[in-house]
Chain A
Amino acid sequence: MNKKMITSMLFCALLSSVVSFSQSFDKLDKAPVDIAYLTTRKFPSPLIKVVYGRPQKNSNKVFGDQIPYGEIWQTGANEATEVKFYTDMSFGRKLVKAGTYVMHTIPGETEWTIILNSNTDTWGSYFYDESKDVIRIKIPAKEADVIDVFSIGFKEDFNNTFMVLAWDATRVNIPLATQDVILAKL
């Protein structure tokens, strides 16, 4: 074995180790992760945090085509959408304990099923396990102007707070309330 060969072999070994190292970093996602916080004037520290992937619209119609009706969806992209409640709250008029959940949905033409599930840190809806459901609610689907990128936000009107799922011309408004609001209404 001559010196040149040894050098080139060493170089190759070095190169392959560098290459394998660079592969340990993920590329930027096509549907990047975003964070949405719910804070209110009354509660400046967060009440809810949502971490979710934001895919783009890539067909004429998102729901019923790109995302089929009647099938469970991770409500975003890549890692399952995570919702953290910092305090016990009413979510879709059902009480949910403070904690971290994944949110799956079953989109429908007129009505969506929204699921909070305790099987966190999972990918997509592949690991969805119905026995880990914490709550299931049904919310009517509404129409509004077209938004190309899947968005989760919060809105307040008439003293009501909603978590809004928005994509294409579809809006799903999930009513929210903190415990003192629930108590005040009793």
Chain B
Amino acid sequence: MKRIKITLGIACVCAFLWQIDATAQDFRDLDASPHDIVYFRTNKISPPKIKVLYGRPKKNGREIFGNVIPFGKIWRVGANEATEVVFYNDVVFGESEVKAGTYVLYAIPDKSEWTLILSSNTDVWGVYDYQEKYDVARLTAKVSKAEFLEAFSIGFKDKGKHVNMVLAWDTTRITAPIKILL
């Protein structure tokens, strides 16, 4: 019995020493469209109200909306992993009250108005897993024009009673008003 225990012990140590370390090729390269994080806070030191984790593709001289990103088709609002939105408070998104939590943000771009969709089916890739049955809320957002931006960007503008989440790429801006409930 003692011998068996010793043999087992040695085997365990060997297995541990034998462990092959991950080589450089085992890790993913940097993404061409890197992810980024943007927070909305009412001031610099207050806890966050909204967080967005999204991929940032570049224009690279292409015509984006209506071409690379076709009108009328669902878009992941970024690149690679679907864009994730965390609400730290309950919010009003479009007509619906949405509970604090983590959601995936999708959009259906169009010429003058976009539809933004919050889905509860999180941790998905692109739009391939999009299913309408997981929709939590929809919002119709206005399209406007502003100066050129090479990389797709998401930002926030504090409007006091609500906050505008702004999607920005090329010369297109999409403004989505979100009301944070206290």
Residues of A within 8 A of B (CB): 18, 21-22, 24-29, 32-37, 45-46, 49, 51, 54, 78-79, 121, 142-147, 149, 151, 153, 155, 157-158, 160, 164, 166, 171, 173
Contacts and interface: CB of A to CB of B under 8 A. Distances in A.
Given A35-B35, A121-B39, A146 B24 contact: yes
Nearest to B125: A37
Interface residues of B, number: 38
A79 to B, nearest CB: 5
Nearest to B150: A28
B23 interface: yes
A28 B34 contact: yes
B156 interface: yes
Contacts of B59: none
Nearest to A18: B147
B1 interface: no
Contacts of B21: 142-144, 171, 173
* Nearest 10 A/B pairs, CB to CB: A32-B34, A151-B27, A25-B153, A33-B35, A147-B24, A144-B21, A24-B155, A25-B155, A164-B22, A171-B21
A28 B47 CA distance: 23
A157 B34 contact: no
A105 to B, nearest CB: 17
Of A25, A78, A142, chain B has the most CB atoms within 10 Å of the CB of: A25
Contacts of B53: 33, 35, 51
A145 B26 CA distance: 11
Contacts of A158: 15, 18-19
A35 B36 CA distance: 10
B56 A28 contact: yes
Contact of A149 (B18, B30, B38, B123): B30
Given A24-B155, A24-B166, A28-B151, A145 B31 contact: no
Interface in B123-182: 123, 146-147, 149, 151, 153-157, 166, 168
Contact of A145 (B23, B34, B56, B157): B23
Contacts of A78: 37
